[in-house]
Chain A
């Protein structure tokens, strides 16, 4: 699917090995979107499948948006401004097809409403990046989105944890995952 956009959009680069596990991004994201501190309703979720290996998990805006293609009721669309996946919560039935289509199984159902949660890039001003940068962790930073293979980053927390565990703890630690 080729998408034309109005202005050059951003991408949130992620350096998992720098993530402190502070989960301030979950607080910021849920507060912005839900008006509450609500980790399970955050569009970014920090998985900790092994202590010390924290993986902020959220949409990468794949070049071909398989989730959007997979939605049977066309509840998902792509923002021309930011390239983010937008959810029409009126039409979303919470069927979960987009989760299956996503190579990283990123989307998740809202804990109270039957509606899918996907990062909307906060309309171009990501709150998660702001708090992560403020703290100097810089696990999340903003880069210009160019013609790169962003979809490579759409992976499950298990896969990412396996790689990071080998990198930080040594190959032996992978058996614990």
Chain B
């Protein structure tokens, strides 16, 4: 099929074996690439024993997959996946940057990493030359130094190997920070200092394999496409739209820090105790005027360049460099911790980048801890002496470092909000789950649903196969651009969703896919075929879960308890979500996608999709949930 490099690279870190494999066209037609193909590969290779696979054991696989759209549809990304140490299912976690493009230019559609190295290593790929290299000298380094050191080192190696080529451009690098090395479940796989595949916790999986980084340089062209003129024409349409529409272009998502509080009452504040604020000092103008040194920053082929670079040049946070921060981090490393200072927010975001932590999950678990401190459930002595008061940036910075290094209380919080809640509950003899704002092991993104002015669907997180992931929520009708099936297409074609928002031609993405691959695909085919297959498979693997956690749809397909408390402030004060309404909507959604009333994929639907083996595997789940 066109648009693909045609092979995957498999590296076993236990044995050092390296080989190339091909994927059947029939599989690519259904599962595309990225998230979809990752799910299929994981199912085929680990499915039979899924509930016994330890996400942080050598038996887990770590996948880095592009899709046919990577490099062509504007805005380059790569999808990171494996068995997630957060929800124990499969999460497709995409990260922006040039890695996917370099990989395809090197001749590979993706990487499958298995096993576990004895000592820290990194992988250097230059076209078909693949080397596993010692990484003792970079193990322990923060994100900025990791990238800087490897950029120099890899360029030097390539210059030595190919002395007459001229200057070598840097390879693209994916890496982990200290958090990933220490198997922190809320660690990211990072790129370019500030980009991260956050949801899923794959930084910890990478750390468990003792893989510090992967650097790739591909010198070939992107693969041939079916109709290059059509691809170029559609690219121009996407770009033109991005330039004219200006959505995300001017401020990225940075207006959110004020807007989602003041205008839509959907921003997490002090662990979601409130969702409304009117703090104008937290407006995007302050971020822009004080800290932005670059107003448009982006990745391969992107017309939107939604990122902005913030730098603190003096004062106590001098030297902090990060992007934007974007809305999610303005919220989770700001308002959710009671912080309304742009400067403190830039500082914390830069710190989280350096440590290799997920800004969303870390802000979620730190807000959770701070609420327990507010309620007197956790005392300073439980927190290694930290008085975890709302708004205290030094205290939160301290705590973040403890989490990344698993020191003291950090050891518990490093497992993410859900597991931390279980552990703290056990130690204190109190049920603290009501304060855990998470769904099936994944802290929810910074978009509240109580006001219904932002994310409008009250079952969106509860029914998502990626759980708290705000970029992949359930939505009906299934062919709606915001439905999870459509997100699956973006994450499987692997490109940036921001360049698809509000496109005037709603099916442009399908046309694009067809122009690249030469295979005709329509929206209705997708939502009845490949898209639905991937959704069911992800759902099945989520329900199989294990070994340390197992979800009961009856209980766990639900909103965090906090979302059933009425909003306490702002214009939406008093708004509440009724459990009964959620129950009804859930049922409607189950029905729409083909899950039975217990939330388990139906036999006849699985059979029709050709997923009989999945059906068999789900038999025990059906019994457990009877």
Contact of B299 with A by CB under 8 A:
yes
Contact of A101 with B by CB under 8 A:
no
Do the beta carbons of B243 and A176 come within 8 Å of each other? no
Question: How many interface residues does chain B have, given as a range?
Answer: 35 or more
Nearest A-chain residue to B71, judged by Cβ: A37
Contact of A126 with B by CB under 8 A:
no
Do the beta carbons of B311 and A170 come within 8 Å of each other? yes
Nearest B-chain residue to A52, judged by Cβ: B309
Do the beta carbons of A40 and B144 come within 8 Å of each other? no
Count, A-B residue pairs, CB within 8 A: 129
Identify B305's interface contact among A27, A39, A49, A137, CB under 8 A: A137
Instruction: Give chain A nearest CB distance to B226 CB in angstroms.
Output: 14
A107 to B240, CA, bound (A): 32
Contact with B along A68-86 (1 / 0, CB 8 A): 0000000000000000000
Q: Which residues of A contact B (CB under 8 A)?
A: 17-18, 20-24, 27, 30-31, 34-41, 45-52, 57, 94-96, 99, 105, 107-109, 111-112, 134-137, 156-157, 168-170, 172-173, 176-177
Do the beta carbons of B166 and A107 come within 8 Å of each other? yes
Do the beta carbons of B243 and A134 come within 8 Å of each other? yes
Chain B residues with CB below 8 A from A168, complex form: 293-294, 309, 311
Nearest B-chain residue to A102, judged by Cβ: B166
Q: Which residues of B contact A (CB under 8 A)?
A: 71-72, 98, 101, 105, 144-145, 147-148, 151-152, 164-167, 169-170, 192-194, 218-222, 224, 228, 232, 239, 243, 293-294, 296-303, 305, 309, 311, 313, 318-319, 321, 323
Chain A residues with CB below 8 A from B148, complex form: 50, 176-177
Question: Do A169 and B219 form a contact, CB below 8 Å, given A22-B302, A31-B232?
Answer: no
Q: Knowing that A39-B105, A46-B169, A170-B313 touch, tell me 6 more A-B residue pairs with CB under 8 angstroms.
A: A21-B299, A50-B147, A57-B167, A107-B166, A109-B166, A168-B311
Do the beta carbons of B297 and A21 come within 8 Å of each other? yes
A20 to B228, CA, bound (A): 25
Chain B residues with CB below 8 A from A136, complex form: 243, 296
Give the one of A21, A23, A105 with max B CB within 10 A.
A21
Where chain B touches its partner, the secondary structure class is loop
Chain A residues with CB below 8 A from B299, complex form: 21-23
Listed from nearest, the 7 A-B pairs whose CB atoms lie closest are A108-B166, A38-B221, A111-B219, A176-B148, A36-B221, A51-B192, A51-B193
Do the beta carbons of A105 and B167 come within 8 Å of each other? yes
Chain B residues with CB below 8 A from A107, complex form: 166
Do the beta carbons of B300 and A23 come within 8 Å of each other? yes
Identify A22's interface contact among B151, B303, B313, CB under 8 A: B303
Nearest B-chain residue to A157, judged by Cβ: B167
Nearest B-chain residue to A173, judged by Cβ: B321
Do the beta carbons of A40 and B294 come within 8 Å of each other? no
Do the beta carbons of A20 and B296 come within 8 Å of each other? yes
A38 to B144, CA, bound (A): 28
